[in-house]
Amino acid sequence: MRYKNCVKRLVQLIVAKYYYKGRDNILRIFILSLLLIVVISKSSYAYLDPGTGSLLLQALAAGLFFCVFFVKRVWRKVLDIFRKPVEENSSSDNK
């Protein structure tokens, strides 16, 4: 029972600190609530079938590839800023 009172008081402190300062902190409250649920909860005895593992692996691979291509694209734009402009000289302009 003492454990529940401690958790209840912790939640009250979090809400008092962040909720009354505006709507921008709702995400912070949500994340802290999820963190409390993960820390407080005991064993769940959940079963992950191979399909779920495959889905998680696919999501991880997609996120990795997204990060690689995003960084590559941003890096090229940064390099384009610092490159010297190339003058286009054609043979017809020289005549």
Q: What are the backbone dihedrals phi and psi of residue 54, each rounded to the nearest 5 degrees, phi first?
A: -65, -40
pLDDT tens profile 13-62: 766 666 656 656 677 777 777 887 777 777 767 777 788 888 989 999 99
Q: What pLDDT sits at residue 42?
A: 73
Residue of 3 and 41 predicted with greater confidence: 41
Angle between helices 2-18 and 26-40 (to 10 degrees): 170
pLDDT over 70 at 10, yes or no: yes
- Predicted TM-score (pTM) of the model is 0.39
Spatial separation of the C-alpha atoms in residues 32 and 34, rounded to whole Å: 5
pLDDT tens profile 56-89: 899 999 999 999 999 999 999 888 888 877 776 6
CA angle centred on 66, ends 75 and 85, rounded to 5°: 20
For the chain, the structural domain boundaries read 2-41+57-82
